[in-house]
């Protein structure tokens, strides 16, 4: 081709490259005197008719889009038998060329990724799926602007009605109406960047582009392809069966939040990926902002997302808990009563596991040679015990029961491992480290710990009510209780000589925590117990925990340091504090032992100070389950409704299911978000420095919310369309639900025990509407006809939640003697639209699952057995991973909406800082 050749009115200048569908040239539009790129259909290879249809399909797909990061199509035509597309010319290089020279830094990768995601989000909104996204189809302009091109494999979804000829693309068949169809079994796209469903010849939707985007982003930050093979088929096999090497293993300084985004893109199951490119773009924008502000630091430091837990017992205050990802950079140690200039040596960190799922409960052998941990890495949906050599051995699966096996502990010689299993009602078992028969040590037991001399096993025992700690001979024999007279005793930790046991204890069930809750030391010889006064010391330093006291993890060697998981401010780390032998009092200040911004927990240590711990992250999102709600019949697979870097909680729905309101911690505290489930559009309704509790009205027109302010909890109402909120109560409680007629609001009081109030809009504050002298009452929900209310009641903090139904008479509720008991073990009741079923959460089968109970139409008494609606036996995705207790349920005719938490984590090892 010479520079004098013209096609139509375009003068060819030079060849730019070869594509799957043809050759691309730089040219000049002789009419408008502007540079263009011309793609000529390649005539060899594919059949002429098929190539022509695909060529026209690309032009139509791309021309339907008008976006700054998508190549603009100017013209489509034919000249002397040659089909061509004239498009925008962008000076620059393909992303493939850029990556080939060097992997991208985090800043450039995020800058490009946001633009690519923006382009694909626009295409998906227009009903177009690219299906061939790869670095070669992305142009990086001279000024860093991105353009996505080559929609040759683009599939127009059924939402695009104006172009029926291009609704589907296939290299195989054409229907009688002229539509090109993608047949199952047909593989389209470029092998290394295909999604698993493409590689398997199955239909692909927008989530297929999410996977391909993840492959491209992986290559941008690592400089390597995520899936590689010696041939096209071996590459496809890798996409279908293998997980890519974790990006942080290739680039250790890669921010962990960015790695988490990539890993979620690359889920094999489309339902586990980001569900929309728009949500993914928002997450990437947040990461880019944090990176540019310095909040998303290099060297593995990730952003921090604070998370708080509101216990199911509503009389308790919310407690702060786990946050984002491990930092490997050490900083100056905080030392109590020391000068700021004193800085300890920088501790080393070694990553021992690199799983993409949930790994937890690490234990190190006394010689420091072996690591045991619990993980769902088998893919069976449960946690098993795995063992590997330190530092870089391959994990070996030790247990294979269908139940969850967790919390391992090595014997003194490393030949045996004790662990807790949920099988057969739960208990502690012992198994040889190299594999063999598993022996039951104690039923209803948990948290096993071998003594340092190997003679004993200590473990917790669940009682009703309360808990205790027993010790039993490791070789077998009767056990005895070391915590006689305690209401609660948990977290046993052995002294270095094996003669004493430290534990977290509460002596009196009814007394307050002061003088009652503490770390205690029990002598193995005679059971004598001494209080350490650790609670007072740690509270003065600002630590928090259950009843104000963190739980101890380990007792380290002759230095008698206690390792615990605690936080000051928003950072959860491992800490150490010295304990004086004999007096059993804390003898010095607490010292930080790890320095990340993640939740660093579950420490295990050797006598010489080598410590393993878990770095874990948790995301809370809103999910939807399609169902015939009045009959309890599930109609399809779950779908994620939110997916971002923040926690999303407590969804409520309008009666038609079109509007969802939930609270999201995107700005550091929980604000109210309204989402249109038809269009996907979201609106932030509040921006206060407090955590709001919202509910949307049945008609979707207004939203009520409340938050703590100056010791009170006022209630506000704002239009769903936005605007200024109106305060309708000065001090009521936590907003729960609108009445069916939209005239009032149910709320839960902060009293102890908690109760339920009803606030009639426009009237003064009502007294408590539903209360009990002893029971805490919460999660109230009106029946669809407004004549009944379902709610949870809990007689004490440790008792299972019960579900009741009570009749309403003129905005008053029947006395507790007339309450109808629906179930003794359920949380978050929610009515079906016709009031025939009551949905709730229960862990009656060993895992927190969704159930429903049929009710008599007149009396509302339960009839027949409960219906199991949806199992959640996987530990990685479950409501047990949520920090705010059992999630709320929102029910409309065709769906259930609720929260689930996704848990991930890996094991790290460090040397404990030395304490003089």
Q: Which residues are marked as active site?
A: 132
Residue whose token pair is 């949806």: 870
Contact 700, 654 (CB under 8 A): yes
| Residue 230 CB contacts under 8 Å (≥ 6 apart), including other chains | none
State how far the Cα of 676 lies from the Cα of 657, in Å rounded to an integer.
9
State how far the Cα of 886 lies from the Cα of 850, in Å rounded to an integer.
11
Helix axes of 277-293 and 106-125: crossing angle, nearest 10 degrees? 160
Kindly list the distances between the CA atom of residue 638 and the CA atoms of 194, 275, 665, 898, in Å, as whole numbers in the listed order: 24, 11, 23, 11
| Residue 916 CB contacts under 8 Å (≥ 6 apart), including other chains | none
Helix axes of 206-222 and 256-265: crossing angle, nearest 10 degrees? 140
569: left (phi over 0), alpha (psi -120 to 50) or beta: left
What is the 8-class DSSP label of residue 245? P
Residue whose token pair is 């310095």: 294
Beta strands in 280-422 (DSSP E): 307-309, 319-321, 349-351, 359-364, 370-375, 384-389, 396-397, 405-410, 416-421
Query: DSSP H helical segments within 256-327, as ranges?
Result: 256-265, 277-293
Q: Looking at the DSSP assignment, which residues form a beta bridge with residue 468?
A: 461
297 CA to centre of own chain: 22
Contact 105, 138 (CB under 8 A): no
CA atoms within 13 A on the CB side of 180: 25
Question: What HEC string does 492-511 produce?
Answer: EEECCCCCEEEEEEECCCCC
State how far the Cα of 346 lies from the Cα of 225, in Å rounded to an integer.
34
State how far the Cα of 289 lies from the Cα of 287, in Å rounded to an integer.
5
Helix axes of 206-222 and 277-293: crossing angle, nearest 10 degrees? 30
What sign results for the dihedral spanned by CA atoms 46, 47, 48, 50?
Answer: negative
Burial (0-12, 13-18, 19+ Cβ within 10 Å), 270: buried
Say what the alpha-carbon torsion angle 127, 131, 135, 137 is, to the nearest 10 degrees. -70
| Residue 458 CB contacts under 8 Å (≥ 6 apart), including other chains | 448, 449, 451, 469, 470, 471, 482, 492, 494, 501
Kindly list the distances between the CA atom of residue 376 and the CA atoms of 360, 639, 642, in Å, as whole numbers in the listed order: 9, 22, 24
Contact 870, 877 (CB under 8 A): no
What six digits make up the tokens of 770?
């539903």
How many helices (H) and strands (E) in the chain? 10, 64
Contact 820, 861 (CB under 8 A): yes
596: left (phi over 0), alpha (psi -120 to 50) or beta: beta
Say what the alpha-carbon torsion angle 784, 789, 790, 796 is, to the nearest 10 degrees. 160
What is the 8-class DSSP label of residue 382? S
Contact 217, 265 (CB under 8 A): yes
Length of the chain: 916
Contact 705, 723 (CB under 8 A): no
């Amino acid at each position: 081709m010479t520079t004098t050749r013209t096609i139509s009115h375009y003068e060819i200048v030079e060849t730019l490259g070869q594509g799957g569908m043809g050759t691309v040239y730089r040219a000049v539009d002789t009419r408008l005197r502007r540079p263009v790129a011309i793609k000529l259909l390649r005539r060899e290879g594919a059949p002429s008719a098929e190539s022509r249809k695909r060529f026209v399909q690309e032009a139509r797909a791309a021309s339907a889009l008008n976006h700054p990061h998508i190549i603009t199509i100017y013209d489509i035509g034919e000249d002397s038998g040659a089909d061509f597309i004239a498009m925008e010319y962008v000076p620059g290089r393909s992303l493939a060329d850029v990556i080939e020279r060097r992997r991208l830094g985090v800043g450039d990768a995020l800058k490009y990724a946001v633009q690519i995601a923006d382009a694909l989000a626009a295409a998906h909104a227009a009903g177009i799926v690219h299906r061939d996204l790869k670095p070669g189809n992305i142009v990086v302009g001279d000024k860093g602007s991105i353009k996505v091109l080559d929609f040759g494999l683009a599939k127009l979804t059924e939402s695009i009605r104006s172009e029926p000829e291009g609704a589907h693309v296939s290299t195989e068949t054409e229907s009688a109406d002229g539509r090109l169809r993608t047949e199952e079994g047909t593989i389209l796209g470029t092998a290394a960047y295909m999604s698993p469903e493409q590689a398997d010849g199955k239909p692909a939707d927008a989530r297929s582009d999410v996977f391909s985007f993840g492959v491209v982003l992986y290559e941008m930050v690592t400089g390597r392809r995520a899936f590689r093979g010696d041939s096209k088929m071996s590459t496809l096999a890798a996409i279908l069966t293998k997980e890519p090497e974790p990006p942080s293993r290739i680039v250790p300084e890669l921010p962990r939040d960015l790695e988490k985004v990539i890993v979620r893109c690359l889920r094999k199951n489309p339902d586990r990926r980001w569900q929309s490119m728009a949500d993914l773009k928002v997450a990437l924008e947040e990461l880019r902002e944090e990176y540019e502000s310095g909040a998303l630091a290099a060297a593995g430091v990730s952003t921090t997302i604070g998370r708080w837990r509101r216990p199911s017992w509503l009389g308790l205050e919310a407690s702060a808990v786990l946050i984002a990802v491990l930092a490997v950079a050490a900083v100056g140690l905080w030392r109590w009563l020391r000068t700021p200039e004193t800085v300890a040596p920088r501790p080393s960190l070694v990553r021992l596991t690199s799983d993409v799922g949930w790994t937890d409960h690490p234990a190190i052998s006394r010689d420091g040679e072996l690591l045991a941990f619990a993980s769902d890495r088998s893919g069976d949906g449960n946690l098993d015990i795995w063992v590997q050599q330190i530092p870089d051995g391959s994990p070996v699966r030790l247990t294979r029961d269908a139940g969850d096996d967790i919390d391992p502990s090595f014997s003194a010689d490393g030949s045996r491992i004790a662990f807790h299993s949920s099988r057969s009602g739960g208990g502690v078992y012992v198994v040889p480290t190299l594999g063999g028969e598993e022996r039951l040590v104690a039923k209803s037991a948990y948290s096993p710990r071998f003594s340092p001399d190997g003679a004993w096993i200590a473990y917790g025992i669940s009682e009703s009510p309360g808990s205790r700690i027993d010790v039993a001979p490791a070789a077998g024999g009767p056990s005895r209780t070391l915590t006689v007279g305690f209401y609660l005793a948990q977290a046993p930790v052995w002294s270095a000589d094996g003669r004493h046991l430290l534990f977290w204890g509460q002596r009196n069930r009814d007394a307050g925590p002061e003088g009652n809750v503490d770390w205690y030391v029990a002598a193995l010889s005679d059971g004598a117990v001494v209080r350490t006064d650790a609670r007072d010391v740690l509270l003065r330093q600002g630590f928090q925990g259950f009843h104000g006291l963190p739980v101890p993890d380990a007792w380290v060697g002759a230095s008698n340091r206690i390792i615990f998981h605690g936080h000051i401010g928003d950072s959860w780390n491992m800490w150490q504090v010295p304990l004086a032998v004999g007096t059993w009092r804390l003898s010095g200040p607490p010292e930080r032992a790890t320095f990340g911004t993640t939740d660093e927990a579950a420490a295990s240590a050797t006598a010489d100070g080598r410590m393993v711990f878990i770095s874990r992250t948790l995301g809370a999102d809103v999910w939807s389950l399609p169902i015939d709600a009045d009959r309890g019949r599930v109609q399809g697979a779950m779908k994620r409704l939110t997916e971002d870097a923040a926690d999303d909680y407590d969804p409520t729905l309008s009666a038609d299911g079109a509007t969802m309101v939930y609270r999201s911690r995107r700005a550091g505290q929980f604000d109210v978000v309204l989402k249109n489930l038809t269009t996907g559009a979201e609106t932030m309704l509040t921006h206060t420095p407090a955590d709001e509790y919202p509910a949307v009205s049945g008609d979707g027109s207004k939203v009520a919310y409340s938050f703590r302010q100056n010791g009170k909890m006022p209630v506000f109402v704002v239009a769903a369309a936005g605007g200024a909120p109106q305060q309708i109560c000065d001090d009521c409680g936590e907003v729960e639900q609108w009445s069916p007629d939209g005239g009032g609001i149910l709320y839960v009081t902060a009293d102890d025990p908690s109760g339920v109030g009803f606030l009639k809009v426009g009237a003064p504050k009502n007294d408590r509407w539903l209360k009990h002298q002893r029971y805490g009452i919460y999660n109230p929900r009106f029946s669809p006809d407004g004549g009944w209310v379902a709610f949870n009641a809990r007689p004490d903090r440790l008792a299972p939640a019960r579900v009741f139904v009570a009749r309403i008479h003129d905005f008053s509720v029947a006395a507790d003697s007339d309450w109808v008991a629906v179930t003794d073990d359920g949380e978050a009741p929610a009515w079906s639209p016709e009031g025939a079923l009551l949905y709730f959460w229960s862990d009656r089968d060993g895992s927190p699952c969704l159930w429903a109970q049929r009710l008599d139409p007149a009396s509302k008494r339960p009839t027949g057995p409960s219906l199991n609606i949806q199992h959640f036996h996987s530990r990685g995705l479950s409501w047990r991973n949520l920090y705010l207790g059992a999630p709320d349920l929102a029910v409309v005719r065709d769906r259930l909406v609720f929260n689930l938490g996704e848990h991930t984590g890996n094991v790290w090892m460090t040397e404990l800082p030395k304490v003089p």
